[in-house]
Amino acid sequence: MYIQWDDKFSVNIRQFDAQHQRLFELVNNLHRGMKEGNKRDALQATLDGLIAYTITHFGAEEQMMLKHGYPGFDAHHKEHDDLLSQVREFKVNFDAGKSMLTVEVMGFLVNWLTHHIAGTDKKYSAYLNGKGVA
Ligand SMILES: [Fe+2]
């Protein structure tokens, strides 16, 4: 399942919408690589890129929340951390040849991303917009 950007995902903050769109693109690239039977090292590189970008993006969101004293920071931060631990654990197993990139793995990523953006991320919109972040 490929993810397509839709206005319903907008958090009303330009830089984060752009980063979310980039994340969709990276997840779709990974999915395409899997479907086209890319070699393990190519998939590893794609996955590395996705993880690195995710870390950068989470960091940018968290910095912005902290800067403006967002009250939902702890819960939000925890969701980010939990996802990163899961993805890192998957990566270790994938690198060791113990796990495969499957439709289920891709489904998990797509699901997490869409739910997180449409649910948890949306919660900071009004608060940060109110602080002049747009
Ligand atoms: Fe987030």
Instruction: Tell how far the Cα of 105 is from the centroid of ligand 1, in angstroms.
Output: 20
77 found inside a domain: yes
pLDDT at 106: 94
The parent domain of residue 19 ranges over 7-130
pLDDT at 4: 94
Instruction: Give the number of domains in the chain.
Output: 1
Instruction: Tell how far the Cα of 7 is from the centroid of ligand 1, in angstroms.
Output: 17
CA-CA-CA-CA torsion for 115, 58, 97, 104, nearest 10 degrees?
A: 10
Instruction: Tell how far the Cα of 37 is from the centroid of ligand 1, in angstroms.
Output: 31
- Tens of each residue's pLDDT in the chain, 134 residues: 789 999 999 999 999 999 999 999 999 999 999 999 999 999 999 999 999 999 999 999 999 999 999 999 999 999 999 999 999 999 999 999 999 999 999 999 999 999 999 999 999 999 999 999 99
125 found inside a domain: yes
Instruction: Tell how far the Cα of 76 is from the centroid of ligand 1, in angstroms.
Output: 6
pLDDT at 69: 97
2 found inside a domain: no
